[in-house]
Amino acid sequence: MKTIRNILTTTLLTLFAFGSVVYTSCKNKCGSTTCQSGGVCVDNKCVCPTGYSGTSCQTGWSDASIGTYNCVRSNCAPARVGATTWVSTVVKSGTNGGYTINITNFDNNNITVEGTIDSAIGGVNKIKVTPPSGSSGINATGTYTNGVISLHFTTASSVGGAGYSCNMTMTKQ
C-alpha cells in the first residue's frame, strides 16, 4: 500500500513539474502585455506592423484623426465660386484600419477620398490622398496635428478639362 502511495505521489509530482516547465516555456515573452493588431514580441517588446503603435500595438496611426470636422477651403487657383465652408467626417477605411482613412464630403462635393497616415514624428502625422490607379481625381498632401488636418490638394478632370489647386483646413469639432 505504501509503495502504491509513493508511486502515485512521485507520478503526480513528476506531472506537476513537467506541466510547470511546459507552461513557462509557452508563456508570452512580453510579460503581461499581449501584442495586438498583428504585432510580434521581440526581446520582451511588441514590434508593431505598419499602421500601429503603442506598447501592445493597440493604437492605429489613424485613430486620433477619426471624427467630424469643420472645413475651410482657401487659396484656389483658378478661383472657385460657391461655399468655402462645410462639414466632413474622417473614418477608418475598410482597406487598413491602422493607417488608412476615408474623408467624406471632400471639398464639399459629396465624394469620399481615401488617404494614408504616416506615424507621428514630432507629434505630426503626414497624410496623403491619391486617386485610384488609372483614374483622374484628387491628389492631396498634408498633416494632422492636435485635431487639425491641413491639406494642399489638386484636382484633375476625367474628361481632360482643367482642374484646380486649393488649400483646405479641417478642424475637429
Q: What is the per-residue pLDDT across 135-169, written as a single tens digit (0 to 9) for each?
A: 668 999 999 999 999 999 998 866 656 788 999 99
> What is residue 133's predicted lDDT score, i.e. its pLDDT?
66
Q: Give the per-residue pLDDT at 118.
A: 84
Cβ atoms of residues 150 and 73 within 8 Å: no
Q: Mean pLDDT across the chain, nearest whole number?
A: 81
Flag the least confident range among 11-25, 44-58, 69-83, 109-123: 11-25
pLDDT of residue 6: 53
| Architecture of domain 62-172 in this structure | Beta Barrel (2.40)
Indicate the pLDDT class of residue 67, thresholds 50, 70 and 90. very high
The pLDDT assigned to 19 comes to 47
Contact indicator for 118, 135 with CB cutoff of 8 Å: no
> What cell does 3 get?
509503495
According to the model, what pLDDT value does residue 91 have? Answer: 93
DSSP 124: B
Domain residue ranges of the chain, discontinuous segments joined by +: 2-59, 62-172
Mean pLDDT within 110-125: 82
Q: What pLDDT digit, counting tens, does each position of 15-66 carry?
A: 555 444 434 334 446 888 899 988 999 988 899 888 888 889 888 888 889 9
Q: Which of 1-5, 69-73, 121-125 is modeled with the greatest confidence?
A: 69-73
Q: N- to C-terminal Cα distance for the chain?
A: 79
Q: How far apart are CA 63 and CA 78, in angstroms?
A: 34
Q: For position 29, what pLDDT does the model report? A: 63
Report the alpha-carbon distance of residue 43 to residue 47 in Å, rounded: 9
pLDDT of 120 strictly over 80: no
Q: What is the pLDDT of residue 7?
A: 55
